[in-house]
Amino acid sequence: MKKIFNVRSIMIVLGILLCIGGVGALTYLHLYQAPASPLAQEETTAQPVESKEEKQPLQPPRVKTPEEKQAVIDQDRETMENLGLVYDYANKGLVEVVQDYMAEYGIDPSQITFTYKNPATGQQFSMNELQPMTAGSTYKLPLNMLVVDEVDAGKLNLTDEFDITNTYYEYLGEHDNYVAAFGGAMTIPDMQRYSLVYSENTPAYALADRFGGMDNVYGKYEKYGKSRAEIKTISPENKTTSDYYIQVLDYLWNHKEKYATLLELIGESFPNEYYKRYLPDLIIQQKPGYVAEALNVEAIVYEQTPYLISIFTAGLGGTTPESTEISGYGLHLLGQLCYVINEWHRVNVN
């Protein structure tokens, strides 16, 4: 994730924190500073790895009565009123409710793209899903999935240490601190943790090196889906669509056992922020992505009926492609959007 200037000075002590405080120290760093910078850049088709897991048959959508919907609204009314997010959840579709929220807060329709999916029924609702958006660090989740596939195929293992001294970097300070803290070499589990829980770049590039670098990764993303848009997956220019990314989440959901470690890691990521900001009592596995104007989140939300959600935004809180700092107000708006989507789901689906 794109670094805030004052984070650079903090990153100088990253190596010491890693050596002394381990994960706990890094947790503090990432809770109280903007996340580490996402890849500021981001198509050969990989052969699928067979999975023992099978996709479950789809269930018919539940049709809730007006009384059932009203009971949820009554239960949640105090919270939605406190947040100022009272909408006609019971009588409008998801896209309509999101549009009402955007209109109230002055968000242009082009600033948000999303795709929601109920994996139990296959129901899917989208807005601007083919519009290209800056992916930010969201590329790191399918990258990690590709690595798990290589381990599963016996081409990589979890105990070898891989040299990181010559790994590509965007920020020399971050790179040097990782080299110092890990003695110049990292295992794949370490790379996975620091690229997903903390969204750091150096371990992500180290994972990409297992394929010969990021240039060799882009074409492999089609394994998890292919968008109807011109940009089929994630482009080398770091552009993607929610139409593609919902397929990544669906693949992840349908292969939960295989990717259990990744799901655990993204479950740890960014407590109290992004999708978790106004939904503190839910189990949420999320991969955020921030850079410049983009503030994104990809999540599996464990409501009574779980759902998948891919959200990409641009310019929330007034950010631009030249922005170097994350917008606190933008995070607030994204958190509100997540609450609105979740409340619609609670009222109409749970």
Evaluate if residue 49 carries a pLDDT over 90: no
CA–centroid distance for 139 within its chain: 8
pTM value is 0.85
Note the pLDDT tens digit of each residue in 271-307. Answer: 999 999 999 999 999 999 999 999 999 999 999 999 9
The whole-angstrom separation of Cα 198 and Cα 265 is 9
Residue 128's CB is within 10 A of a number of other CB atoms, namely 19
Question: Does position 33 have pLDDT exceeding 80, yes or no?
Answer: no
Give the model's pLDDT for residue 56: 76
pLDDT the model gives residue 57: 87
% the chain with pLDDT above 70: 84
- Looking at residue 53, its pLDDT comes to 58
pLDDT of amino acid 1: 53
169 contacts 201 by C-beta, under 8 angstroms? yes
**What mean pLDDT comes out for the span 89-118?**
98
- How does pLDDT run across 174-206, given as a tens digit for each residue? 999 999 999 999 999 999 999 999 999 999 999
Q: Is 284 exposed, middle or buried (CB count within 10 Å of its CB: 0-12, 13-18, 19+)? A: buried
For residue 59, pLDDT over 60 is answered with: yes
Distance of CA 148 to the CA centre of its chain: 17
What mean pLDDT do residues 65-85 have?
97
Output the pLDDT for position 158: 96
Could you give all domains of the chain from N- to C-terminal order, each with its CATH number? 5-48+59-348 (3.40.710.10)
Strand order in the sheet with 284-291: 124-127, 112-117, 307-313, 294-301, 284-291
Helix residue spans in 33-65 (DSSP H): none
Using alpha carbons, list the distances in angstroms from residue 159 to 22, 59, 188, 266: 19, 41, 7, 21
Residue 43 has pLDDT above 90, yes or no: no
User: What confidence tier does 32 reach under pLDDT thresholds 50, 70, 90?
Assistant: very low
Amino acid, res. 335 = G
Quickly state the pLDDT bin for 52 (edges 50, 70, 90): low
Mean pLDDT, the chain, rounded, equals: 88
Q: The tokens of 21 are what? A: 């405080």
Measured CA distances, 168 to 204, 207, 208 (Å): 10, 11, 10
- Residue 104 pLDDT class (50, 70, 90 cuts): very high
